[in-house]
Amino acid sequence: TDIGAINSAEQLARITSLVETGEAEGAERWSAPRELPSSGYWFAPTLFTNVTQAHTVARDEIFGPVLSVLSFRTPDEAVAKANNSQYGLSAGIWTEKGSRILAVANKLRAGVVWANTFNKFDPTSPFGGYKESG
């Protein structure tokens, strides 16, 4: 996966602060060691595990290469966790069952819902956020 630069020093500082908060709150951070370019604003792709809805990294929009992984046992529990946010810019569903995609997508409160992909846009499709992301 290719990940571009962060758009400003301010946004890089915000991402860094949110990631540090995630670690301080007990989420487990995973980042592959990598050399970042010396010019521009870069942040290494980061994954958090052992995340609950109480963690800041699960509640806030980060707008950087950071993924927080929350576990669930049923599709309804996943929907409840996804909808338990003041934000709703986008959501993604991964499954082999087309009927499950439709059932879950209809319950998610998000401006865009992707199926088995993420952040792929058809320029002719409408786009908008939901809740505080709109």
C-alpha separations of 71 from 22, 83, 87 in Å: 16, 14, 19
Could you tell me which of 71, 81, 83 has the C-alpha nearest to residue 108? 83
Domains within the chain, CATH numbers bracketed: 1-71 (3.40.309.10), 72-134 (no CATH)
Model pTM score: 0.83
Task: Please give the mean pLDDT across all residues of the chain.
Answer: 91
Q: Which residues pair with 112 in a beta bridge?
A: 90
Q: Which tens digits make up the pLDDT trace of 13-49? A: 999 999 999 999 999 999 988 889 989 999 999 999 9
Distance CA 65, CA 45 (A): 5
- The single-letter DSSP state of residue 87 is B
Could you tell me which of 42, 48, 52 has the C-alpha nearest to residue 30? 48
Decide if 30 contacts 22 (C-beta within 8 A).
no
- Predicted confidence pLDDT, tens digits, the chain (134 residues): 578 899 999 999 999 999 999 999 999 999 988 889 989 999 999 999 999 999 999 999 999 999 999 999 999 999 999 999 888 888 999 999 999 999 999 999 998 899 999 878 787 877 777 677 76
